[in-house]
């Protein structure tokens, strides 16, 4: 009897395997797993009217038809990328349920109640009616989609987001890593869902840094005395800036101009826009504390920067939201603060800045959590366990 087959469909400008492929290729996932790249010859299409949309659509249709002929059991797409919309839309339109469609790292902006938003959600409910399983990055987010779309609970699942293991090799004391072929993202690399960190052009949330040769791990807790906050949409920088009116530690915010909400920038704060990924990683690796001020949303946000910082052994101050409570424990692997509370942020910064031992303990515990929970191989095994029960 032939083994079940799963195909991972990737939208990318590169023809080679995605960065995480080597991390999962050796895993015993219970079925044959392969990937197919839908090539982009230019920018990602903004809509069906964009020049590159129909070549991309044709590639997706060819792949879907070929996998149906092969008897492929699962087709996997990422987030709400074009591949997810095309596969779901075609199968819903034609009443197809084979291959079973699995969307990992599923994320959709919240329904705001406006007419445009309600129409969008009505379309999504129809488009994704053929999807067998959506895997979200937080439990609260998964519950939200069940309510918002009227889906059965079995259609949505939670699996913690993974990180790039090469971040484990970044020297946290000086922000450097061994060279020798490791690739990095540039300022022009796509930015995922407002996280402010670059992602590879393979459609997966995570690092754009390829695997690097082993480096000597630095001592967790080494730093240059600075604080870094990174990310774009759904960041609550106005609250962070109000917190810094009572602080004099140097803070660097890496964001977009529209993210600050017009709030005055205190003297100790510098703001950087559109810096290369290498510089962002360097600043994260060298800093004393990472702060993630987040808006209180139903959907998950902030996990990419959060898990990257945890992988580097950094103590993180992060807003307690749907997107973070599944990832950290207060005063164990991070410091959680209430939403929209500048005083709580200021107290947490003073606490960590004054206690190197506490920073080291939280950073070491965070890194240990990543090793046991947030590796690509663990994510792949989690997906495999889910599909085996379907």
Q: What are phi and psi of 12, to 5 degrees?
A: -155, 155
Q: Which tops the pLDDT comparison, 102 or 30?
A: 102
Distance between alpha carbon 219 and the CA centroid of its chain, in Å?
26
| Tens-place pLDDT, residues 48-60 | 999 899 999 999 9
> What confidence score (pLDDT) does residue 278 get?
86
Which 3-state string (H, E, C) describes 309-330? Answer: HHHCCCCEEEECCCCCCCCCCE
Please check the confidence at residue 360 and state whether its pLDDT lies above 90: yes
Mean pLDDT of the chain: 85
Question: Could you give the residue range(s) of every CATH 3.40.50.2000 domain in the chain?
Answer: 5-162+376-388, 165-373
In the numeric block, the tokens 């003297």 are attached to: 267
Please check the confidence at residue 42 and state whether its pLDDT lies above 80: yes
> What confidence score (pLDDT) does residue 168 get?
83
| Tens-place pLDDT, residues 203-256 | 322 333 233 333 333 444 468 999 999 998 899 999 999 999 999 999 999 998
> What confidence score (pLDDT) does residue 221 get?
43
Distance in angstroms (rounded) separating the CA atoms of residues 294 and 242:
14
Please check the confidence at residue 190 and state whether its pLDDT lies above 70: no
Class of domain 5-162+376-388: alpha beta
In the numeric block, the tokens 């106005």 are attached to: 238
Query: In CATH, what is the architecture of 165-373?
Result: 3-Layer(aba) Sandwich (3.40)
> What confidence score (pLDDT) does residue 3 get?
67
């Amino acid at each position: 009897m032939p083994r079940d087959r799963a195909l991972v469909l990737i939208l990318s400008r590169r023809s080679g395997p995605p960065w995480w492929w080597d991390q999962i290729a050796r895993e015993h996932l219970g079925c044959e797993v392969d990937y197919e790249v839908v090539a982009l010859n230019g920018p990602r299409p903004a809509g069906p009217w964009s020049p590159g949309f129909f070549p991309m659509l044709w590639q997706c249709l060819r792949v879907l038809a070929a996998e149906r002929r092969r008897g492929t059991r699962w087709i996997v797409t990422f987030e709400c990328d074009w591949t997810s919309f095309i596969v779901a839309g075609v199968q819903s339109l034609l009443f197809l349920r084979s291959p079973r469609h699995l969307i990992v790292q599923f994320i959709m902006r919240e329904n705001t109640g406006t007419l445009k938003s309600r129409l969008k959600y009505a379309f999504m409910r129809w488009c994704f009616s053929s999807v067998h399983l959506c895997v979200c990055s937080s439990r609260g987010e998964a519950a939200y989609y069940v309510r918002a779309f009227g889906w059965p609970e079995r259609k949505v699942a939670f699996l913690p987001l993974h990180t790039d293991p090469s971040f484990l090799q970044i020297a946290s004391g000086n922000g450097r890593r061994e060279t020798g072929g490791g690739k990095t993202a540039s300022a022009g690399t796509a930015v995922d869902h407002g996280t402010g960190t670059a992602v590879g052009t393979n459609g997966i949330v995570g690092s754009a840094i390829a695997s690097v040769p082993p480096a000597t791990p630095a001592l967790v807790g080494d730093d240059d005395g600075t604080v870094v906050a990174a990310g774009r949409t759904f960041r609550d920088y106005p609250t962070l800036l109000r917190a810094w009116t009572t602080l004099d530690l140097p803070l660097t915010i890496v964001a977009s101009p529209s993210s600050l909400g017009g709030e005055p920038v205190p003297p100790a704060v510098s703001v950087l826009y559109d810096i290369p990924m290498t510089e962002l990683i360097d600043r994260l690796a060298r800093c004393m504390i990472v702060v993630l001020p987040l808006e209180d949303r139903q959907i998950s946000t902030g996990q990419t920067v959060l898990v990257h910082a945890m992988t580097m052994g950094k103590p993180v101050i992060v807003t307690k939201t749907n997107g973070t409570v599944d990832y950290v424990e207060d005063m164990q692997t991070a410091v959680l603060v209430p939403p929209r509370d500048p005083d709580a942020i200021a107290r947490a910064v003073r606490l960590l800045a004054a206690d190197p031992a506490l920073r080291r303990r939280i950073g070491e515990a965070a890194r240990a959590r990543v090793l046991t929970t947030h590796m690509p191989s663990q994510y792949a095994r989690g997906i495999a366990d889910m599909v085996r029960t379907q």
